[in-house]
Chain A
């Protein structure tokens, strides 16, 4: 397999306009019998409508309300979230990391865009951006400031760079004033960003 490319790259044979490149590939693969467009519709529907941050929010809300669940989640997240039906592509190996007053966790993939799809869906644009990938490991606090988050000096930041197939779910701190709330109400406080570590849970 060659390691370096030039204008002879096969991709240069596709039309220059991105939408046409995708269309050309889909049409070619369909005509060769390698792709069924109805299967593409099914994939898109899955990630647009069925898999998203609501899955992760349920896990976090349950961890906030159920000490046994929380302990099991921190011990073996893969097994625990699989029991809830959250498993599969880009979530084969899961780990939950918990924010505390002493430590704030934040997740990045500096090499590409690794992300826990079964729990959070497909990653947001900023997560895949050069700016986030470049900066999150070197200046997490300045990156947090871009999200309007300021941490106290007594809180250390631990940034997880997803260099392998482990996928990380941040359990944000449970907000004050939520003692009597049930799981469904708590879920509404859990944002996608709070489960990546670039945000905090909402206060009621």
Chain B
């Protein structure tokens, strides 16, 4: 187990409760929380992997207690202070806010459509050549920890660590989150869709034909013996 966010396969969460289509937010402040987070991201002081890591390294008690957008707000406040964008005094209201040198980067209303449309593609040309081909049997690394940074970010869920699967597809060469989340560079690697039989992952698979597919970077994998 890595961190509290890594909950795939956990028991005890109860039913999934469907809801009507068209329900987008459940409180007046939710859309504001979403928009503040997106607009702050445009300042360019962190990348997507850093913002994911900021949410998942909230203390487990906090992570479980906070609702979805509360996690976003907590992670945003932490990132803003850690990256030196706001001070603790400004955040607590004890000191008068100072105009930021980053203000010229602030998202303007007329730029919103273009910025959202641009997104942030993570495929990168070059990088290491793929060493696996479609159909190859592979094993995922175990345990599911970031090998570079103690307690760091990774996108290998614990439930799929040390499991045997087969390469379904090569997605191209993508930025490696384990490195990028920690400001250690994009370190792009081949990314594969890897299929695992449910019986490989779970003691009580529901059906012998069921599978789970995960997108996994080359360094997460080794040839299966």
Interface positions of A (Cβ within 8 A of B): 1-6, 9-11, 13-14, 18-19, 21-26, 28-29, 31-36, 38-44, 46-48, 53, 87-93, 95, 108, 110-113, 121-122, 124-126, 128-143, 146-147, 153, 156-166, 191-193, 198
Contacts and interface: CB of A to CB of B under 8 A. Distances in A.
Contacts of B103: 32-34
20 contacts: A1-B182, A3-B150, A10-B88, A14-B73, A25-B77, A26-B36, A32-B90, A32-B97, A32-B103, A47-B24, A47-B31, A129-B13, A134-B7, A134-B13, A141-B206, A157-B210, A157-B211, A158-B195, A163-B155, A164-B215
Nearest to B68: A128
A25 B106 contact: no
B212 A34 contact: no
Given A18-B33, A110-B6, A162-B215, 13 more contacts: A10-B77, A25-B36, A32-B98, A36-B106, A47-B34, A88-B118, A90-B119, A91-B119, A122-B34, A131-B16, A134-B10, A160-B213, A163-B215
A1 B206 contact: no
Q: Which of B10, B74, B80, B215 is packed against the most chain A CB atoms within 10 Å?
A: B215
A150 B212 CA distance: 19
Contact of A129 (B16, B102, B206): B16
A29 B59 CA distance: 25
B30 to A, nearest CB: 9
B171 interface: yes
Chain A, interface SS category: mixed
Contacts of A113: 68
A19 B17 contact: no
Given A40-B39, A47-B24, A158 B120 contact: no
Interface of B: 5-19, 21, 23-24, 26-29, 31-36, 38-40, 43, 48, 50, 52, 55-59, 62, 67-70, 73-78, 80-82, 85-86, 88, 90-93, 97-100, 102-103, 105-109, 111-113, 115-123, 149-152, 155-157, 159-160, 171, 174, 177, 182-183, 191, 193, 195, 201-202, 206-207, 209-217
Given A34-B43, A34-B102, A44 B34 contact: yes
A122 B73 contact: no
A14 B91 CA distance: 7
Contacts of A142: 206
